[in-house]
Amino acid sequence: MDTLARIKEMAVKEFSIDPNSLDPNAPLDTLGVDSLSFIEFMFKIEEEFGVNVSDEDLKSIKTLADLERHVAAAVAAAGKA
């Protein structure tokens, strides 16, 4: 399963989002995700993928697609370390 698919699967469960209407490019707030819920979700993402997303990076994540790019980059960087 690719990174975005796994993130989407986790988001569907975490936020009770209809998987058929989940647009990874939609702003998180339009999906009904508030900032506190998203921070809690990030802890799960970090654990699932074995990565850390900095507070600075977190500020720039506005969509699930943004999150996927950050996670994929962190996974790739960890693999090269």
Q: Which residues of the chain have pLDDT under 50?
A: 81
Is the distance from CB of 58 to CB of 36 less than 8 angstroms? no
Closest CA relative to residue 39, chosen from 24, 54, 17? 54
Please tell me the distance from the alpha carbon of residue 20 to that of residue 23, in angstroms, as a whole number: 8
| Domains of the chain (ranges, CATH numbers) | 3-80 (1.10.1200.10)
Q: What's the pLDDT at 1?
A: 67
The Cα diameter of the chain in Å comes to 37
**pTM tops 0.75:** yes
Q: What's the pLDDT at 29?
A: 92
- Residues in CB range of 72: below 8 A, 6 or more apart: 3
